[in-house]
Amino acid sequence: MSQPLPAFFASLPGFSRLAPADVAGIAAACEEKTFERGTLLFAEDSPGGEMFILKTGAVQVIKHFRGKDQILATLLPGDILGDMSLIDGRPHSADCKASQNTQAVVLPRPAYEQLMRDRPGVAILIMEYLAHTLCDRIRRANRTLALFHLAD
């Protein structure tokens, strides 16, 4: 049986300091979706507008480059995707495809905007969580780019 959403959010490091009522508010704003292996969660350049947090399974982040698909990352339970589109409303920057049967918690942009109005402290915490995640990804990308330059 799947873990209830409030317990799932409480288990995530970025959400563990929230009061139970705030966790319940986030859970109420989200929906759960299931994706079979091989299913595209979203395509590169498709409209954004929702953030996914993986509960189970795995998702590959794929970028099309010079006629080939390049796997940029494999995301696992607890990881987030679609976060940049939630923040800026722009199209997705890569494909995200389930590499295993996957369950995800989805926070649509309108629900996040409602949280900003109703529970601004919670919305700020979500944005801090996203900022930390994006910073970690940029640091990893910088290390990877540095390795490519060292190989030249």
Structural domains of the chain, with CATH? 5-145 (2.60.120.10)
pLDDT, tens digit, for every residue of 101-144? 999 999 999 998 998 899 888 888 888 888 888 888 888 888 87
Q: Is the pLDDT of residue 19 over 80?
A: yes
With b meaning 16 or more CB within 10 Å and e meaning fewer, what string describes 66-102?
Answer: eeeeeebbebebebbbbbbbbbeeeebebbbbbbeeb
pLDDT of residue 152: 63
Task: Provide the whole-model pTM.
Answer: 0.86
Reading the block at residue 128, the tokens are 């801090």
**Alpha-carbon distances of 96 from 36, 120, 129, rounded to whole Å:** 13, 29, 20
> What's the pLDDT band for 151 if we cut at 50, 70, 90?
low
